[in-house]
């Protein structure tokens, strides 16, 4: 269906858009590339590349999407499309777990626009701010979103209360530090595990380290030097440093899980507000 001749670019782009609407994203990505090929000098190329990037995002090819977006010369593109490109760039960076780059692109998007952000763009901004732990700004943006919505006063107030409760200091995702977890386990084996929310693993680590060092000292006391050093201290050495590494790894997992849980709650709330 792609290999027949198409005389003008609008037809090629129209075909690509139809495929995109049908959810045939791979086929759409080829059709957009075809538009680029047919009219390399035309301004329609910018839109085709942008849409190709969106198709790639749907195909979970975020790196490829960013590569397409990077090819677009932002300085010579109309503001409306430029906003979309920056939005898409920020989105793909967030999906690639690069929240700082996502925020930087979103800031560029805000600077580009003369008018306020469209309500459909705000959820992404809030998620990016959450990932960057800019809680006050995220809360303010969400409250402004509620203010801008055509809702009854009591409903607005109810949403605002929910938002304040969501962003209450005790409800925010904990920022588990790998360094702190490691240091805690350095002083008390297992403490880092407990800090990251794995108490049973922490207790097991503490007991293993205690048993190993206890056995080592016991054997040393009774002049079993080889036994003390090789089995007691040898096992302790391995489990002590291994435990520190494990605690740091658990901190990373816990931080990720906390953020995911919080963003899931936040996304659900935004969807209900925008419904």
Point out which residues bind other proteins (CB under 8 A).
1-5, 26-27, 29-30, 33-34, 37-38, 224-227, 230-231, 234
Q: What is the largest CA-CA distance in the chain?
A: 94
Nearest CA among 104, 76, 80, 74 for reference residue 92: 104
CB atoms within 10 A of CB 200: 10
CB atoms within 10 A of CB 22: 10
CB of 241 to other proteins, least distance (A): 17
Nearer to other proteins by C-beta: 71 or 118? Answer: 71
CB of 16 to other proteins, least distance (A): 13
Q: How far apart are CA 151 and CA 147, in angstroms?
A: 8
Nearer to other proteins by C-beta: 57 or 84? Answer: 57
Nearer to other proteins by C-beta: 40 or 153? Answer: 40
Decide: 274 and 150 in contact? Cβ < 8 Å. Answer: no
Nearer to other proteins by C-beta: 135 or 224? Answer: 224
CB of 264 to other proteins, least distance (A): 34
Nearer to other proteins by C-beta: 132 or 227? Answer: 227
CB of 202 to other proteins, least distance (A): 27
Q: How far apart are CA 105 and CA 70, in angstroms?
A: 12
CB of 30 to other proteins, least distance (A): 5
Q: How far apart are CA 168 and CA 186, in angstroms?
A: 32
């Amino acid at each position: 269906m792609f290999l027949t001749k198409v005389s003008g670019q609008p037809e090629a782009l129209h075909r690509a858009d139809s495929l995109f609407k049908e959810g045939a994203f791979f086929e759409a990505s080829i059709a957009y590339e075809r538009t680029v090929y047919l009219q390399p000098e035309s301004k329609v190329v910018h839109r085709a590349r942008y849409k190709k990037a969106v198709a790639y995002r749907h195909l979970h090819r975020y790196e490829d999407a960013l590569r397409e977006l990077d090819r677009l010369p932002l300085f010579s593109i109309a503001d409306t499309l430029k906003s979309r490109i920056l939005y898409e760039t920020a989105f793909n960076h967030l999906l690639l777990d690069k929240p700082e780059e996502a925020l930087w692109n979103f800031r560029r998007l805000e600077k580009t626009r003369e008018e306020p952000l469209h309500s459909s763009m705000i959820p992404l901004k809030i998620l990016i701010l959450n990932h960057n732990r800019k809680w006050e700004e995220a809360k303010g943006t969400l409250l402004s979103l509620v203010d801008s919505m055509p809702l009854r006063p009591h409903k607005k107030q109810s949403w605002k209360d929910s938002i304040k409760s969501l962003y209450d200091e005790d409800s925010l995702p904990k920022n588990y530090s790998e360094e702190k977890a490691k240091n805690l386990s350095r002083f008390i084996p297992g403490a880092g595990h407990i800090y990251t929310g794995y108490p049973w693993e922490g207790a097991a680590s503490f007991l293993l380290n205690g048993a190993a060092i206890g056995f080592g000292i016991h054997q040393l006391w009774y002049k079993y030097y080889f036994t003390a050093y090789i089995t007691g201290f040898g096992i302790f050495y391995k489990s002590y440093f291994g435990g520190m590494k494990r605690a740091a790894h658990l901190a990373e997992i816990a931080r990720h899980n906390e953020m995911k849980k919080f963003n899931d709650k936040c996304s659900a709330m935004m969807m209900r507000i925008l419904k």
